[in-house]
Amino acid sequence: MKNKIFYFIPILAIALAVIWIGSREPVELEVTDIIDEEKKPLIGEPEAPEQTLPLANDPKTLAWNLFQKYVGFNKARDLDGVKSVVYKIAAVCLDPKTRIDCEARMGAAYEYGSALKKEDFVNVWSDERQTILVTDFWTEESSAYESIGRFRSIIFFVKDDQGVLKLLSFTPSQGGATSKGSASDAELQGRIVRWTEDNDKDGLADYGEECLATNDSDECTKTNPRSRDTDSDGLWDGTEFFMSK
């Protein structure tokens, strides 16, 4: 039964000034969260036919510039700066008694955030309420764990009550992995695609939306993997998931 055994490695999701572990689709911590999805960036139309560069107000540019401010504030350990660009701040950064822990997490946020590259985020999903920047998926094999995984990097942004774009969460490598066992390459590829595919492009894996990634259904709220906005309130399922964290 070895080929039937699989595991999910918890996602390292870096939300605001905090690195927190756990999501609907866990990932390996020291592989750290990593990258993929479909190549259809939504960019602004050029002002003139000869203009080839995206406009300064296209969704990707606006979101990426905000993310770079966040990365810079974390580098400088500027908590007020971080607060100015994120949707909400982590509790550990609200209590002066845990400032050391907060700064350690800010350091990690800078380390992982500064490693991301704008050109890798070839998928831009955006509307009047939110923007999600997503890389294409990549696969990784680990000889130490005899496993294979599929990952992507993803950054969530949402507009606050005043209509101002804020950083909601980012994950350097969102995805899942499985032990190889005696399974064929085709079977292994089928598994990791099934566990990580996000057909409705809401930032959550279909497998997780159906609560198939957890043994405790009480800890998971099912959403429709065929609908980006299950409750039709204007916020996509992935956006709402991270807003509730």
- Residues 36-62: what's their mean pLDDT? 56
How many C-beta atoms lie closer than 10 Å to residue 12's C-beta?
25
Q: What is the pLDDT of residue 31?
A: 29
Range with the poorest average pLDDT among 41-50, 54-63, 92-101, 112-121: 41-50
Residue 7 · residue 164 · CB < 8 Å = no
Task: Look at residue 87 and tell me whether its pLDDT is greater than 70.
Answer: yes
> What pLDDT is attached to residue 219?
79
Calculate the alpha carbon distances from 146 to 7, 31, 36, 189 in Å: 12, 14, 22, 14
Comparing 155 with 50, the larger pLDDT belongs to 155
Are the C-beta atoms of residues 176 and 152 closer than 8 Å to each other?
no
Model confidence at 46, pLDDT cuts 50, 70, 90, reads very low
- The pLDDT of residue 216 is 64
pLDDT in tens, 94-121: 999 999 999 999 999 999 999 999 999 9
Spell out the residues 6+ positions from residue 87 whose beta carbon is closer than 8 angstroms to its own. Answer: 16, 158, 160, 166, 167, 168, 243
First to last CA, the chain: 36
The mean pLDDT of the chain is 83
DSSP letter string, 74-109: HHTT-HHHHHHHBSS--GGGT-GGGHHHHHHHHHHH
The full set of domain ranges for the chain reads 2-243
Lowest average pLDDT, out of 26-30, 75-79, 104-108, 175-179, goes to 26-30
Residues 185, 188: Cα–Cα separation, whole Å: 5
Which pLDDT score, from 0 to 100, does residue 245 have?
A: 85
As a whole number, mean pLDDT of residues 17-38 equals 35
Residue 89 phi, psi (nearest 5): -100, 150
**Rounded mean pLDDT, 71-90:** 97
Nearest to 239 by CA among 207, 211, 200, 210: 200
Strand partners, 24: none
Task: Give CA torsion, residues 212, 213, 215, 220, to 10 deg.
Answer: -80
The pLDDT > 90 percentage for the chain reads 71
- Tens of pLDDT, residues 131-189: 999 999 999 999 998 999 999 999 999 999 999 999 999 999 999 999 999 999 999 99
Structure pTM? 0.79
So what's the pLDDT on residue 214? 74
How far apart are alpha carbons 152 and 24 in whole angstroms?
Answer: 14
Residue 66 in this model has a pLDDT that exceeds 80: yes
Given a cut of 80, is residue 13 above it in pLDDT?
Answer: no
